[in-house]
């Protein structure tokens, strides 16, 4: 693979030195470079392929990074990263000391705003555009939104505010590929579809399809797209114009000549004070790499694969994934209780709820990238006697904290939160780590919070949570379980009851979630040295099994808590608060995620570095015992 033009580009300024007729070759080289690199490293493929021409044209036309480019979600950003000096660093993307998969202000001056979650770009760009205006500078801010970001409520709030302000130096580029990770949902799509039934629209569709189909090259593809997208002439433009935006489009998002001309005209419009402007580009996720274009969902986030065939290495047999155990258990429970409803915020496959949807299509809801709505929607269902189960990644549930507080917990409604990807997530890094849920949930009234030590305990805890007549949260990690046998019958865990895994009177290790297995291994290592360690699987963060914790603390010399979550306000803090209330004092240490940003990298290596493995736990226990030889 040769990339003679791309090899000359280390900044947007280098890109702008090329002639306009060379830019299409740059996009072709970018596509080859991204496919070739991601095939070795893994990463976000289809979204980035679909954004190549748009991002290249923006960097070529505008004076980035002086003109601010803000991307929505980060996984569209690989072309942006390659054009802004990070192409040679891609072989270590998502690895320790490598570049991030998402946008980071600390990584490049061209990353004007960090992006890991969706729906933030227009708000941030509006803030920047307003600040530029306040400071009298001659620059613009460009929000690049797509991959479902427009289904987020923040996007519409920002559009409404920008239109009210009539922000002249703001440009919004809508990368319309009709998908986020899963297909987009929402009333706007339904509204556009209704427009297709109008006679004039039917005639326009037929004319456009016939005209484009008669032309050479890739116009056959655009003829097909025209049948689906001619509707945008009759409604999105009106919608955005009603919000005081100048609407430009729809344009073909993979035609470099069209994009360069369009953005040049938009740049002149901004210079003439005609903003805010919305550019609507129709693209295809995975464009230019046939396997990804045919199945963009499969090629959204990938591991290594063969470029020529698109084939992935055979999956290795292993324990079931936590999300699959969750989904299968929820299906079993739903067969017995017709009140159970499954809810996802655009992550049906990631959470396993696609399996639930297949069995119970009428009891499944994908609300789009709208976690706040998902939670209050669930609260409304619960208020009428149903038992909703929103399955949301820990990092994304943070976005709905106010709704959890006011709409669920204060009203003591029967909502079960399934917190997927809790704990360390590895290569996705700081924006996706699931560290804060324990701390922010345990402070709330009425809710119970639990974490299983393995996949078998998960299925019993889910039954416990669903049957509990109030708010309940079950947090579980990413990936495969431990391979423990799954009990054929589900049995609710008594609320607030811990499990003593092994006994001892030198030290007690109190673990929550999968850290119980690491604690057991540490106890075994210490036992070989003659140190008798009790290991308690707490199971519940709230309510704690205070009686058992106090009893163990009173007879052991030292105490260690272990959690794969944030330390401040976390599980360990809860244990120490309980001991203080019982007037029990003993040497103790809380092993948890420290109060700092934890970057991307191999999950096991991160755990080892933070002491969240058997060796780290054993070291902590030994150090405490050495410091306090007697009690």
Walk me through the domains of the chain, giving residue ranges and CATH numbers. 6-178+238-302 (3.40.50.970), 324-475 (3.40.50.970), 499-627 (3.40.50.920)
pLDDT digits (tens, 9 = 90+) for 134-183: 999 999 999 999 867 888 888 889 999 999 999 999 999 999 886 443 44
Q: What is the largest CA-CA distance in the chain?
A: 89
If we measure between CA atoms, which residue out of 212, 224, 279 comes closest to residue 54?
A: 279
* Active site residues per annotation: 285, 371, 399
pLDDT at 235: 55
Contact call for residues 34 and 48 (beta carbons, < 8 A):
yes
More confident: 216 or 611:
611
Please, is 101 exposed, middle or buried when counting C-beta atoms within 10 Å of its C-beta (0-12, 13-18, 19+)?
A: buried
Taken as a whole, the chain contains a residue count of 631
Distance, in Å, from the CA atom of 121 to the CA atom of 58, rounded to the nearest integer, reads 15
Give the side-chain half-sphere CA count within 13 A for 255.
Answer: 15
Give dist(CA 41, CA 305) in Å, integer: 9
At residue 205 the predicted structure's pLDDT band, cuts being 50, 70 and 90, is very low
Q: Which residue has the tokens 């290594």?
A: 304
What six digits make up the tokens of 549? 């914790």
How many Cβ atoms from other residues are within 10 Å of residue 106's Cβ?
Answer: 8
- Name the percent of the chain lying above pLDDT 90: 63
Give the model's pLDDT for residue 187. 47
Helices (H), 337-383: 348-351, 353-359, 371-383
Average pLDDT of span 430-456: 93
Q: How confident is the model at residue 301 (pLDDT cuts 50, 70, 90)?
A: confident
pLDDT above 50 for 622: yes
Higher-confidence position of 605 and 337: 337
Distance separating alpha carbons of residues 424 and 434, to the nearest angstrom: 6
The pLDDT, as a whole number, for residue 102 is 77
What digits encode the pLDDT tens for the residues 577-612?
Answer: 999 999 999 999 999 999 988 888 788 888 889 999
Average pLDDT over residues 111-134: 89
For position 150, what pLDDT does the model report? Answer: 82
Is residue 194 scored above 80 in pLDDT? no
Question: Which strand (E) or helix (H) includes residue 626?
Answer: helix 614-627
Supply the pLDDT for residue 265.
93
At 398 the pLDDT is 92
Other beta carbons within 10 angstroms of residue 272's beta carbon come to: 9
* Whether the bond into 576 is cis, omega within 30 of 0: no
Q: How far is CA 116 from the centre of its chain?
A: 7
Q: What is the pLDDT of residues 53-107, one digit of tens each?
A: 999 999 999 999 999 999 987 778 889 998 998 888 888 877 777 777 778 788 8
When pLDDT is averaged across residues 310-334 and rounded to a whole number, the result is: 91
Q: C-alpha 336: how far from its chain's center?
A: 32
* Close Cβ partners of 446 (under 8 Å, ≥ 6 residues apart): 409, 410, 412, 470, 471
* pLDDT for the residue 445: 96
Q: What are phi and psi of 61, to 5 degrees?
A: -85, -40
**Residue 181 confidence (pLDDT):** 38
pTM, to two decimals: 0.83
Q: What is the residue-averaged pLDDT of the chain?
A: 87
CA–CA separation, 60 and 37 (whole Å) = 23
Residue 613: the pLDDT is 94
Per-residue tokens: 382: 């619960």
């Amino acid at each position: 693979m040769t990339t003679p033009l791309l090899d000359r580009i280390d900044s947007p300024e280098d890109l702008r030195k090329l002639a306009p007729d060379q830019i299409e070759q740059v996009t072709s080289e970018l596509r080859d470079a991204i496919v070739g690199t991601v095939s070795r490293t893994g990463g976000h493929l289809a979204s980035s392929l679909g954004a190549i021409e748009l991002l290249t044209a923006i960097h070529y036309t505008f004076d980035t990074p002086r003109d601010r480019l803000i991307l929505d979600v980060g996984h569209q950003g690989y072309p942006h990263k390659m054009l802004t000096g990070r192409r040679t660093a891609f072989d270590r993307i998502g690895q320790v000391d490598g570049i991030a998969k998402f946008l980071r202000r600390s990584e490049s001056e061209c990353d004007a705003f960090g992006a890991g979650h969706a729906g933030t770009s227009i708000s941030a760009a509006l803030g920047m555009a307003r600040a530029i205006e306040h400071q009298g500078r001659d620059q613009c801010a460009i929000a690049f939104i797509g991959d479902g970001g427009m289904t987020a409520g923040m996007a519409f709030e920002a559009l409404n505010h920008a239109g009210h302000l009539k922000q002249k130096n703001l440009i919004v580029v809508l990368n319309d590929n009709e998908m986020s990770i899963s297909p987009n949902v929402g009333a706007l799509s339904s509204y556009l579809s209704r427009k297709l039934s109008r006679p004039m629209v039917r005639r326009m569709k037929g004319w456009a399809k016939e005209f484009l189909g008669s032309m050479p090259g890739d116009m056959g593809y655009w003829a097909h797209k025209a049948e689906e997208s001619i509707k945008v002439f009759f409604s999105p433009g009106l919608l955005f114009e009603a919000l005081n935006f100048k609407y430009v489009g729809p344009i073909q998002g993979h035609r470099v000549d069209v994009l360069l001309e369009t953005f040049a005209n938009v740049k002149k419009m901004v210079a003439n004070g005609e903003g805010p402007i919305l550019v609507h580009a129709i693209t295809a996720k995975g464009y230019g790499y046939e396997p990804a274009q045919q199945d963009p969902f499969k090629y959204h986030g990938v591991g290594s694969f063969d470029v020529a065939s698109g084939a992935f290495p055979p999956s290795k047999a292993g324990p079931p994934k936590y999300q699959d155990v969750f989904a299968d258990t929820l299906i079993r429970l739903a067969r017995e209780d017709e009140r159970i409803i499954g809810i996802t915020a655009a992550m049906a496959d990631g959470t396993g709820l696609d399996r639930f949807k297949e069995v119970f299509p009428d009891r499944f809801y994908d609300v789009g990238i709208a976690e706040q709505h998902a939670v209050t929607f669930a609260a409304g269902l619960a208020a009428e006697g149903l038992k909703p189960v929103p399955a949301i990644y820990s990092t994304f549930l943070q976005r709905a904290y106010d709704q959890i507080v006011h709409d669920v917990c204060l009203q003591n409604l029967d909502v079960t939160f399934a917190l997927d990807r809790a704990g360390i997530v590895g290569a996705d890094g700081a924006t996706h780590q699931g560290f804060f849920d324990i701390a922010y949930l345990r402070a709330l009234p009425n809710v119970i919070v639990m974490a299983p030590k393995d996949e078998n305990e998960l299925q019993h805890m889910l039954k416990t949570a669903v049957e509990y007549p109030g708010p309940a949260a079950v947090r579980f990690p990413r990936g495969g379980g431990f391979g423990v046998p799954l009990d054929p019958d589900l049995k609710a865990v008594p609320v607030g009851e811990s499990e003593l895994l092994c006994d001892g009177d030198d030290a007690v290790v109190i673990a929550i979630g999968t850290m119980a297995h690491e604690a057991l291994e540490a106890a075994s290592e210490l036992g070989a040295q003659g140190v008798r360690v009790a290991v308690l699987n707490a199971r519940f963060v709230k309510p704690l099994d205070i009686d058992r914790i106090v009893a163990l603390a009173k007879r052991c010399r030292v105490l260690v808590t272990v959690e794969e979550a944030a330390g401040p306000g976390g599980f360990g803090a809860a244990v120490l608060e309980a001991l203080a209330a019982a007037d029990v004092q003993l040497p103790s240490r809380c092993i948890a995620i420290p109060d700092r940003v934890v970057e991307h990298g191999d999950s096991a290596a991160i755990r080892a570095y933070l002491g969240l493995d058997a060796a780290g736990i054993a070291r902590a226990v030994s150090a405490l015992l050495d410091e306090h030889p007697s009690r």
